[in-house]
Structure formats: C-alpha cells, structure tokens
Amino acid sequence: MRKKAMKLFLSAALAASIILPAQASAAAPTYTVNPSSKTYKGLMMNFSTYNFYTKHYYLIRSYLEQQLEKTGGGTLILKKGTYSISNT
C-alpha cells in the first residue's frame, strides 16, 4: 500500500510542477504578431541585414530577445500566416 501512495504523491508533484509555472506566469505579458507586424518598437529594422527575406526572422527575434527575455517570460502568439525564417 505504501508503494501506491508514493506513486500517487509523485504523480501529484509532477502535475503540480507542470501546471504551477504556467499559472505563476499568468501575469506575464502576451504579445500577438502577424506577418505584416513590425519588429518590437522598431528595433533591428536598421540592421544592414534587415530586408524582405529576413523581416520575419527579426520580427520574432525582436520580441523574444527584447521583450520576453528581459521581462523573464511571457507569451508570443503568431497569428495565422506565412513567416519566412531565413536565419534558422
């Protein structure tokens, strides 16, 4: 019987560790972009390598680096569309 209780405890602990971080970051910012969005606050658009082929790469990178990384988390939602990622 003790083995069964230990399995139940481990299952509950695992479930809590998966669920709680998402709930803890519920106050984290959410950003939504689409293929025609500009980079976060216009950053990276002055890079010499920014062009028609790299714009989606820099769009996603700007939100990941400048906002989500600096704030310690959040959610980036990519709206339906085609994103050409040149620098994978």
pTM to 2 decimal places: 0.65
Pick 25 or 67 by higher pLDDT: 67
What is the SS3 assignment for the chain? CHHHHHHHHHHHHHHHHHHHHHHHHHHCCEEEECCCCCCHHHCCCCCCCCCCCCHHHHHHHHHHHHHHHHHCCCEEEECCCCCCCCCC
Q: 79 or 17: which carries more pLDDT confidence?
A: 79
Residues 34-77 have pLDDT tens digits of 999 999 999 999 999 999 999 999 999 999 998 788 888 888 99
